[in-house]
């Protein structure tokens, strides 16, 4: 098999010759191909079959213990000019990067099969989708890409029609951490990854293409590629409105994407629909609104902490047709991780008999890969070619004191400032240093493929062209009282905040103006049915002194990006500063 696109055939031939691949296999994405690859990995020991009675067609992969997470210090953006990569990226000169990678890839597939994986990010027939081809020597990557993207023959047909694609070249190499690099060439729309078999480093459709390369594509083509969930909220009248949301890690993003409303809301007819949990491509529509697609077709979720209490919808997906990576197993070979409500670990993520002195049973970054249509709250709008219209964009964070439960930006420019200043405080689990504020603009710090100053300018330009831009909000589920306890119940009760947000989008409710943004009036957030009434005055308090310090901290953060920071953001900061004094 080959393609009728000569540029693709030439590239495949060139890579096969350089890597000295023993065989070349063009992936068609079929069920038969998938079964064959799984059978081969079961035989080689790359996969283990989990309990077929409790978890049919579920498998466990254990990665090399030194290859268990993204490696941001070995991830490079290789734009022609260093200043275009920005201080938010590691930069390497393209010629130097090409020479380095050429040396690493030379002969690396000797004795191995080279897989050619055509894939489409987004619905196959959507004008908003973009395609790529990943060449890899990892069958584990192939079976994961089949779950995470629209992969195979139909994607190849679209690539042949379009005549262009993002090139992704990957090899596990010898899994040597000292010979591990993930390099991106945005101007060439290409990615090269060597020396890792781990998810984000190896599934090149995910962060590498869908964010780092796509953010550059989006800037040149006039749209936005964002690290955001997409969720639909259906009211009792049957009307569905869509929200996109960006949250740094450990801030409840996946839980919000699959939220189950409180019982009183469910009984009155409210529903929540999951369109995507991680990545969102936003395109200005002809109607002057922003329309969004989820470029992915599956979830690559963190397992630890997923439970009936935190995310029952996620847990319900994982009893069939799932690939688990670096979880523990029970005595009867079921997957297990910290936070699960039942069972206990017999073997840890390395396959050793579980002993607490070796640390957690499941690796803290252990994962599950599963198709999105397994989700009980899955929305068929995830396959809509035109996407879904976005009413609200939410920026989240984890702040013990400063940020109120919910706050609306005055306008688009103010909303971009809220996103640019996004921050979370570290938890004990993260560093041992609690409460250190880390800035993560739009939750894109590790994923923006170019200079953050240019990125914010692009956000301002996109918003300026919209006749009806989404309203922008900031939320903080993590405000604490003087005893250190969370004031807001969180989880499903976050629906109460979403109801207020959508009422604001429809113009049905007034808001209270403060120097830092628009806040709910007393009684406007529905607390009916809560066992305990949270201290709303405390949750919605704005301390002018603390916020003056925050404005100075955001200004200092923006200044690290130099003269490329748009003047409009500095003007917004000055406006907030003056309002506070």
Annotated catalytic residues are 251
What distances in angstroms separate CA 257 from CA 230, 232, 252, 253, 344, one per listed residue? 7, 9, 9, 6, 28
Residue from 333, 361, 367 nearest 68 by CA: 367
Q: What is the bridge-based pairing of β-strands 335-336 and 406-408?
A: unpaired
Per-residue 3-state assignment (H helix, E strand, C coil) for 326-345: CCEECCCCCEECCCCCCCCC
C-alpha span between 76 and 93 (Å, rounded):
10
Contact (Cβ atoms closer than 8 angstroms) between residue 237 and residue 270: no
R_g of the chain computed on alpha carbons: 24
Residue from 64, 99, 68, 77 nearest 173 by CA: 64
Contact (Cβ atoms closer than 8 angstroms) between residue 281 and residue 107: no
The runs of H, that is alpha helices, within 163-274 are 199-202, 214-221, 253-257, 263-267
What distances in angstroms separate CA 269 from CA 168, 342, 503, one per listed residue? 45, 31, 16
Residue from 294, 217, 248, 279 nearest 449 by CA: 217
Question: 407-442: buried (b, 16+ CB within 10 Å) or exposed (e) per residue?
Answer: bbbbebbbbbbbbbbbbbbbeeeeeeeeeeeebbbb
Residue from 186, 148, 443 nearest 294 by CA: 148
Beta strands in 156-289 (DSSP E): 166-171, 181-185, 190-194, 224-226, 229-234, 240-246, 271-276, 280-284
């Amino acid at each position: 098999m080959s393609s009728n696109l000569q540029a693709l055939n030439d590239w495949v031939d060139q890579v096969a010759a350089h890597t000295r691949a023993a065989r070349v296999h063009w992936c068609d994405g079929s069920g038969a191909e998938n079964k064959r690859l799984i059978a081969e990995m079961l035989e080689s020991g790359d996969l283990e079959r989990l309990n077929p009675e409790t978890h049919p067609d579920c498998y466990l992969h254990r990665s090399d213990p030194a290859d268990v997470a993204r490696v941001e210090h070995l991830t490079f953006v290789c734009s022609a000019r260093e200043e275009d990569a920005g201080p938010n990226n590691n930069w390497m000169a393209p010629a130097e990067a090409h020479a380095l990678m050429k040396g690493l890839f030379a002969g690396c597939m000797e004795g191995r099969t080279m897989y050619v994986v055509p894939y489409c990010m987004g619905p196959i027939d959507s004008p908003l989708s973009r395609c790529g081809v990943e060449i890899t020597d990892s069958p584990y990557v192939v079976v994961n890409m089949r779950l995470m993207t629209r992969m195979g023959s139909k994607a190849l047909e679209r690539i042949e029609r379009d005549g262009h694609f993002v090139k992704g070249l990957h090899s596990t190499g010898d899994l040597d951490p000292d010979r591990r690099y993930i390099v991106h060439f945005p101007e060439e729309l290409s990615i090269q990854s060597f020396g890792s078999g781990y998810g984000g480093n190896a599934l090149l459709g995910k962060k590498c293409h869908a964010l780092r390369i796509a953010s550059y594509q989006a800037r040149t083509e006039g749209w936005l590629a964002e690290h955001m969930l997409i969720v639909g909220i259906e009211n009792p009248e049957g009307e569905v409105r869509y929200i996109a949301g960006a949250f740094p890690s450990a801030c409840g993003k996946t839980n919000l994407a699959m939220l189950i409303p409180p019982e009183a809301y469910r009984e009155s007819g409210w529903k929540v629909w999951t369109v995507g949990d991680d990545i969102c491509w936003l395109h200005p529509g002809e109607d002057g609104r922003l329309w969004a697609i989820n470029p992915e077709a599956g979830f690559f979720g963190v397992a630890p902490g997923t439970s009936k209490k935190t995310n029952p919808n996620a847990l319900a997906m994982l009893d069939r047709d799932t690939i688990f990576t670096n979880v523990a197993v029970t005595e009867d070979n079921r997957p297990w991780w910290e936070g699960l409500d039942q069972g206990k670990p017999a073997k840890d993520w390395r396959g050793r008999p579980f002993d607490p002195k070796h640390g957690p049973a499941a690796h803290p970054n252990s994962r599950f890969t599963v198709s999105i249509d397994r989700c009980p709250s899955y929305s068929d709008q995830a396959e809509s070619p035109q996407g879904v219209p976005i009413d609200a964009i939410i920026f989240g964070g984890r702040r013990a004191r400063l940020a109120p439960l919910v706050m609306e930006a005055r306008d688009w420019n103010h909303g971009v400032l809220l996103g640019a200043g996004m921050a979370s405080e570290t938890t004990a689990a993260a560093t041992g240093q609690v409460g250190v504020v880390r800035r993560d603009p739009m939750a894109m710090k590790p994923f923006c493929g170019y200079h953050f100053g240019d990125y914010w300018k692009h956000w301002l330009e996109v918003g300026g062209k919209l006749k009806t831009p989404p309203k922008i909000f900031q939320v903080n589920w993590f405000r604490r009282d003087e005893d250190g306890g969370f004031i807001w119940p969180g989880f499903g009760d976050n629906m109460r905040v979403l109801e207020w947000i959508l009422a604001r989008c429809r113009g049905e409710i007034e808001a209270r103006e403060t120097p830092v943004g628009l806040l709910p009036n007393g009684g406007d957030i529905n607390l009916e049915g809560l066992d305990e009434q949270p201290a709303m005055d405390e949750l919605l308090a704005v301390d002018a002194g603390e916020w003056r310090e925050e404005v100075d901290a955001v200004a200092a953060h923006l200044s690290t990006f130099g003269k490329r920071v748009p003047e409009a953001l500095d003007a917004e900061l000055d406006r907030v500063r003056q309002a506070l004094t």
